[in-house]
């Protein structure tokens, strides 16, 4: 089997993972403008303002998530990285890495398990095509332990969850074979990376994904999302739940399956009283359970302007959005 051979070929590069610190931070969107939920894309993307990284680091942020479109990184399936785009993207990554808290940076492929409306490994690009993309990226960041590979944003409406888990395994193997053996990898489930669905949908299968670089799988972290509005879509500015019941169920599942860990890489709300309270409560629960829920990146700052319903982008005068100040800052790592 190809997966088995890949695992064997890098089995000597086992890493003893050190405990991950509690991580609190923010998405900086822009290179994902405009990726649609069917994996199609148009436009050049927008560079997130580089000054934001030090701005947020000054407040205690120690992780950033930087989304990008597959079509920008490799314009055709299976092709080499576009060097012009990579220079733009890497300049942003370096701005984040150089912030004063020495933060982790998630490289987030924001394509919904698709390329131009075709699901990876399920009638669309082959698993090896996605693996090729990540292999090329991993080679370029193999020496930086602060990089986290976010292999896919929000897989949804999959034809087969088991087939998606096979895709994840192929990508993990490719990243390790490329020499990136010390970095964390975020592995996503189904149903838009749903924190609520993980314990019963993809989670029971994803726990069996092997890591050639960590026998205890401690470098593989589950990638989950959860919003707080009425339909969990992140499209309304009012919040109706703190999601503590969802995250408690997730904690229980992870502890029962080898004391595994998850990171909430997307969650947020509007600058409203309901979200200030409920989002604060949600993040407090995550921080209280940091042995299992290792952190969060709130959605979203970066190239969003102040009219975006879930904006966390600082104002032109340098002041922060109320939701950031009242809900996020109190739950950052050193708060």
42 is catalytic: no
**Residue of 128, 145, 154, 281 with catalytic role:** 154
CA distance 257 to 17: 18
Please give the angle made by the CA atoms of 34, 111 and 145, to the nearest 5 degrees: 110
Peptide bond into 300 cis (omega under 30): yes
Residue 104's DSSP bridge partners are 63
Contact 247, 286 (CB under 8 A): yes
Burial string for 107-123 (b: 16+ CB within 10 Å, else e) reads bbbbbbbbbeeebbbbe
Annotated catalytic residue within 59, 177, 210, 266 = 266
Whether 128 is catalytic is: no
Residue ranges of E strands in 17-101: 23-29, 63-68
If you count them, how many residues does the chain have? Answer: 335
3-state secondary structure of 115: strand
Tokens of 54: 């030090």
What angle, 0 to 180 degrees and rounded to 10, lies between the N-to-C axes of helices 273-288 and 244-256?
20
Q: Which helix (H) or strand (E) holds 97?
A: helix 83-97
> Which residues are identified as catalytic?
154, 266
């Amino acid at each position: 089997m190809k997966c088995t051979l890949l695992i064997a070929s890098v089995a000597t590069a086992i890493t003893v993972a050190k405990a991950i610190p509690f991580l609190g931070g923010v998405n900086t969107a822009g290179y994902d403008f405009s990726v649609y939920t069917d994996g199609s894309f148009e436009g050049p993307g927008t560079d997130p303002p580089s000054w934001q990284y030090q701005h947020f680091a000054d407040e205690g942020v120690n992780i950033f998530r930087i989304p990008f479109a597959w079509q920008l990184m490799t314009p055709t399936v299976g092709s080499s990285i576009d060097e012009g785009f990579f220079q733009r993207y890497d300049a942003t990554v370096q701005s984040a890495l150089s912030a004063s808290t020495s933060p982790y940076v998630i490289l987030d492929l924001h394509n919904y398990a698709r390329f131009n409306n075709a699901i990876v490994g399920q009638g669309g690009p082959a698993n090896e095509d996605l693996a090729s993309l990540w292999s090329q990226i991993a080679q370029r960041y193999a020496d930086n332990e602060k990089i986290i590979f976010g292999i896919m944003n929000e897989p949804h409406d999959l034809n087969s969850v088991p087939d998606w888990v096979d895709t994840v395994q192929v990508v993990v193997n490719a990243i390790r074979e490329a020499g990136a053996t010390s970095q964390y990898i975020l592995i996503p489930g189904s149903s838009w990376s749903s924190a609520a669905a993980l314990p019963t949908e993809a989670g029971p299968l994803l726990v069996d994904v092997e890591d050639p670089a960590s026998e205890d799988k401690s470098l593989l972290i589950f990638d989950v999302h959860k919003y707080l509005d009425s339909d969990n879509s992140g499209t309304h500015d009012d919040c109706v739940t703190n999601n503590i019941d969802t995250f408690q169920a997730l904690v229980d599942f992870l502890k029962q399956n080898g004391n595994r860990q998850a990171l909430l890489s997307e969650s947020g709300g509007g600058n409203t009283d309901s979200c200030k309270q409920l989002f604060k409560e949600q993040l407090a629960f995550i921080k209280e359970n940091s042995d299992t829920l290792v952190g969060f990146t709130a959605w979203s700052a970066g190239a969003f302007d102040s009219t975006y319903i879930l904006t966390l982008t600082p104002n032109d005068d340098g002041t922060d959005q109320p939701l950031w100040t009242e809900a996020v800052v109190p739950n950052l790592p050193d708060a």
